[in-house]
Amino acid sequence: MNVSTFFRKLFLLSIVCTASLFTVAQTKKTPVDYLSIPGPVIFEGKSYFLSWSTHPAAAYYKQEYLIETENADRFKTMLLIEVLSDGSDIKDIVAAKIAELKKLKENNPIVNYDLIKNPATGEYLVDFLMTANDANGAVSIIEHNVYRYKSLKDRKGKLGVTLFGVSKRAYGSSVDVFLTSLKTSRKLIINAVAQFKMPEVFLSK
């Protein structure tokens, strides 16, 4: 499995935490806006455009957004929006994500995470760090993610969970610098995700 596929499967687990995974290959086809979210999505003063989407299960949707100068194979920052519209409880979804991260940490001590709950809104933030290693065991990619989970009720009344996530990466020789910068950037990105105005979704099916 290549590194890109590895991380994408983990993205698919961000809401859908099941034993069976969908193998997803990115193509050059124009992505479908399943969530009816007008673009671009503005985050931290930058414009992110829909770059990839999937609707592999009846109640599950995922869309990725990149700035125009980046691509999915070697991006520095990616936004993702995921929706599970099967009536799932937000507590169960978040618990499944934490269980996934605990499992990963058993074999990778760099994996770390923190869970933050907003009692006023019922939302959750999962802040976590993960890596991919090269053939020699050295860290080839390091990724800092902040996922914000919110209970969903779309304009047609469908219930479930929406996730807004930000993923930031560094590669190869830049990994150590990235880790050092997290000492100051981590709180900034958590605050930015927490304060972001979640877009209203309207499911296409």
Of the candidates 103, 80, 61, the one whose C-alpha atom is nearest the C-alpha of residue 11 is: 80
- pLDDT attached to residue 15: 57
pLDDT in the model for residue 2:
46
DSSP designation for 7: H
User: Coil, helix or strand for 90?
Assistant: helix
* pLDDT value at residue 81: 95
pLDDT confidence of residue 201? 85
The residue-averaged pLDDT of 62-81 equals 94
Q: Average pLDDT for residues 2-8, to the nearest whole number?
A: 45
Closest by CA position to 53, among listed 42, 68, 66: 66
Lowest mean pLDDT among 82-96, 144-158, 185-199: 144-158
The model's pLDDT over 158-205, given as tens digits with 9 standing for 90+, comes to 789 999 999 999 999 999 999 999 999 999 999 999 999 998 888 865
Enter the tokens of residue 170. Answer: 């560094």
Whole-model pTM: value is 0.86
**Residues in Cβ contact with 118 at an 8 Å cutoff, skipping those fewer than 6 apart:** 124, 125, 194
What pLDDT is recorded for position 4? 46
Q: Is the pLDDT reported for residue 85 higher than 80? A: yes
At 23 the pLDDT is 34
